Amino acid sequence: MKLLVVLLAVLAGVWLWQRGRQRHMPPPTRPGPAPALPMVRCARCGTHVPDNEAITGRRGTYCSIAHRRESEGA
């Protein structure tokens, strides 16, 4: 009888442990990490910036409007 009580306690412990683990697991529908963006180099300072954040000028791409203005004067 004592063995049965110990066995039930162990099973209950394992059940509670697995329940707690499932709660901490991320939901399966979570989106993955964003795909890496192509990086472009600033023609003024050489800093690499994501393509969608780069400022395009007549002589190349820049990390900021200020650097485009410094390089192109406009």
Binding site for Zn ion (CB under 5 A): 42, 44-45, 47, 63, 67
Query: Distance (Å, rounded) from C-alpha 62 to C-alpha 44?
Result: 7
Judged by beta carbon, residue 3 or residue 74, the one nearer Zn ion is: 74
Helix (H) or strand (E) segment spanning residue 65: helix 65-72
CB 72 within 8 A of CB 58: yes
Judged by beta carbon, residue 47 or residue 69, the one nearer Zn ion is: 47
Q: What is the smallest separation between the CB atom of 52 and Zn ion, expressed in angstroms?
A: 16
Q: What is the smallest separation between the CB atom of 31 and Zn ion, expressed in angstroms?
A: 31
Query: Distance (Å, rounded) from C-alpha 52 to C-alpha 64?
Result: 12
Q: What is the smallest separation between the CB atom of 43 and Zn ion, expressed in angstroms?
A: 8
Judged by beta carbon, residue 40 or residue 63, the one nearer Zn ion is: 63
Query: Distance (Å, rounded) from C-alpha 63 to C-alpha 48?
Result: 7
